[in-house]
Amino acid sequence: MSEAIIPKEQLPAYQRWEFASFDKRSARGNLDLPTAEELERIQQQSHEEGYAAGYREGRAQAAQEAQRLHTLLQGIAAALGKLDQTVADELLALALDIARKVLGEALKLRPELVLPVIRDAVRCLPQFDQTVRVVLHPQDAALVRAYMAEHPAAAGWTLVEDASLARGGCRVQTASSDIDATLQSRWQRVVAALGSAEPWLAP
């Protein structure tokens, strides 16, 4: 069976196509290529955008590192502060322990040190005639009696012995006053001034 050939002029649904001449311009027109100046501008813009992005990223990283370093330094400072306080507390405790032992030895070697304590306590009393009672350790009482015999101003003192008081201290009493000059009380006043609560313990 032979097929009928339809002439191309009778084909309305198709357009006739022919090779374009190499000498003719394309219907799309010329291809616009960037100039050297445009390429340089594009390159400069890309460089600036990259620099800005890198700068922002660098600043963010630097800020994070600075914050981390600040936190680290705060931690170190706090640790050093605690260490300094610990060392200071230990040194104070050591100094008070040494002072307690030195004072105890001094009172053993020079029991007459109780006399200025009594005189200072009596000076704190109101200045008018009154009976003064001096409460002190029995072993200190013998020293005070000898002192009273040589000093007429102390002749009016009444001595009261109390073995519960540590040597080197006393209580001075009148009808209206009671001055605590015991070794324990004097020690507590000293250590409180140093910010400590170290109790007096007999060396």
C-alpha span between 168 and 182 (Å, rounded):
7
Q: What is the pLDDT of residues 91-141, one digit of tens each?
A: 777 776 777 777 777 777 888 888 999 988 888 887 766 788 999 999 999
> Distances from the Cα of 103 to the Cαs of 100, 138, 145, 171, 196, in angstroms?
5, 19, 23, 19, 18
Q: What is the pLDDT of residues 21-49, one digit of tens each?
A: 555 444 455 667 778 788 788 888 887 88
> Domain 111-193's class?
alpha beta
Q: Is the pTM of this model over 0.85?
A: no
Per domain, the residue ranges of the chain are 33-109, 111-193
